[in-house]
């Protein structure tokens, strides 16, 4: 091979390898950045909070509100938040606030939460969407949402061998509607209520501990055969099951989920599908007629 040609080949190979490495590094950096804003990472940040060391906060400064903005809780220091990315921190302490100054101090801390990331931190310019902190089944069609809840209920049934005592706000008619929304085999009444309210069974290292958890507010309950469990009160105050679905909404997350999977929700879903399908059929007929007349419009 001529020397000049060999030099050109070496130059091409070195340039190509450099571009390949650059492309791989850029892709890796992009994946790492997007991973920061993932649902899994959000849950990890949320799990860092303890109500013993991060106490008495309004909704604007609640664990999910600040976790959506990239903050972890430093349990070694009361009310302290820190960013795992830029290592900055901020202490959110409202204990000394008077009634007349409480909202003003809350607003000050909300601004501090937004501005305390370093200038090079990705959280300075982006945060997780608020829609991330909602019941995931609400994004599903009614049948799939019902299947997801039923699966959670069946897992409770298969692991809890005693009769569960519950305190809950549902009427007998609502319970019947809930169970009728599930496919066969039907879960028990108690596990169906638990699953609707977001509780799921979690395995532990001990065979004697029966643990129920709520992933979205990191609440935990040890089930006991001699004690009733309150499906509402065992949640933390900021749980999406209990919060209004949207600002100004009269329905909380559980009520919206119940409406979705029961007959009323299914009927609405079918009506909306029928309307969309009717519109689509009308568009098809219109376009076919246009093609035949030579006046088709997309």
Q: What pLDDT, in 10s, does the model give residues 103-160?
A: 999 999 999 999 999 999 999 999 999 888 989 899 999 999 999 999 999 999 999 9
Q: Indicate whether 37 pLDDT > 70.
A: yes
Q: Indicate whether 30 pLDDT > 50.
A: no
Q: Indicate whether 5 pLDDT > 60.
A: no
Return the bridge partners of 166, or none: 229
The verdict on residue 267 lying in a domain is no
Does one domain contain both 213 and 190? yes
| Structural domain total, the chain | 4
Q: Indicate whether 19 pLDDT > 50.
A: no
Residues 6+ apart with CB under 8 A from 93: 78, 79
Does one domain contain both 115 and 218? no
- pLDDT tens by residue, 73-108: 999 999 999 999 999 999 999 988 888 889 999 999
| Contact predicate 121/88, CB 8 Å | yes
Q: pTM of the entire structure?
A: 0.72
Q: What pLDDT is attached to residue 208? A: 72
Does one domain contain both 149 and 216? yes
Domain extent for 289: 272-298
End residue of a domain, out of 112, 132, 152: 132
The verdict on residue 178 lying in a domain is yes
Computed over every residue of the chain, the mean pLDDT equals 83
Does one domain contain both 126 and 182? no
The verdict on residue 50 lying in a domain is yes
Does one domain contain both 163 and 253? yes
The CATH number that applies at residue 53 is: 1.10.1170
Name the residue with tokens 């302290």: 80
Does one domain contain both 145 and 251? yes
What is the number of alpha carbons within 13 Å of residue 80 lying toward its C-beta? 11
Label residue 291 by pLDDT band (50, 70, 90): very low
Beginning with the edge strand found earlier in the chain, give each strand of the sheet holding 80-83 in spatial order: 71-74, 80-83, 89-91
Residues 6+ apart with CB under 8 A from 49: 63, 67, 73, 218
The verdict on residue 266 lying in a domain is no
Does one domain contain both 77 and 157? no
| Contact predicate 68/42, CB 8 Å | yes
């Amino acid at each position: 091979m001529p020397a000049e040609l060999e030099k050109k080949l070496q130059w091409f190979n070195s340039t190509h390898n450099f571009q390949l490495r650059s492309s791989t590094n850029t892709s890796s950096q992009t994946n790492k950045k997007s991973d920061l804003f993932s649902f899994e990472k959000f849950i990890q940040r949320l799990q860092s909070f303890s109500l013993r060391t991060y106490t008495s906060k309004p909704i604007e400064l609640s664990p999910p509100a600040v976790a959506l903005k990239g903050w972890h809780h430093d349990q070694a220091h009361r009310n302290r938040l820190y960013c795992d990315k830029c290592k900055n921190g901020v202490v959110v302490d409202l204990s000394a606030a008077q009634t007349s100054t409480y909202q003003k101090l809350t607003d000050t801390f909300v601004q501090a939460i937004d501005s305390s990331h370093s200038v090079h931190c990705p959280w300075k310019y982006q945060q997780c969407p608020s829609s991330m902190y909602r019941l995931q089944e609400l994004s599903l069609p009614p049948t799939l949402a019902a299947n997801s809840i039923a699966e959670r209920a069946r897992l409770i049934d298969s692991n809890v061998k005693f009769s569960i005592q519950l305190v809950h706000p549902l009427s007998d008619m609502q319970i019947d509607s809930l169970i009728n929304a599930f496919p066969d085999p039907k879960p028990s009444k108690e596990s169906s209520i638990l699953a609707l309210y977001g509780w799921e069974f979690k395995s532990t290292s001990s065979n004697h501990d029966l643990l129920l958890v709520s992933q979205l507010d990191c609440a935990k309950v040890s089930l006991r055969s001699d004690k009733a469990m309150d499906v509402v009160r065992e949640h933390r105050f900021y749980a999406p099951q209990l919060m209004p679905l949207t600002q100004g909404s009269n329905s909380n997350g559980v009520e919206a989920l119940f409406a979705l999977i029961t007959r009323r929700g299914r009927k609405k879903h079918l009506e909306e599908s029928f309307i969309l399908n009717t519109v689509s059929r009308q568009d098809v007929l219109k376009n076919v007629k246009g093609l035949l007349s030579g006046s088709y419009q997309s």
